[in-house]
Structure 1
């Protein structure tokens, strides 16, 4: 058994590669910017308020959803 498997445990997921993490951060930043550009009608269509959009546009770029890194 590899040493990494012993340290992290048999059920631990491997960490995503640095390039994958960087790409996910860039995609999250782009998504946050685009959300801030939506008008109120489009925000209502996706079930968000202007306050929700403002909160999400202020998120840091490293706040990428975990499923983007798989």
Structure 2
């Protein structure tokens, strides 16, 4: 992928809208994808405790922004 704002990053960000971490997986960042996914799933699963739900929403938004702003090290 080229860099910030490239078409690949837009696709990755859109993937994250539907499944947190999927955009990072598309970009080849497996560990980041796993962390974002697990934090969001755990937070959304315990939404009735309020605080984990808020953390999940923040992590979900962070995953979207992170995928959109990703610059490869190449």
Largest Rg, 1 or 2: 1
Normalising by structure 1, we get a TM-score of: 0.33
- TM superposition score normalised by structure 2: 0.32
Q: Which has the higher helix share?
A: 2
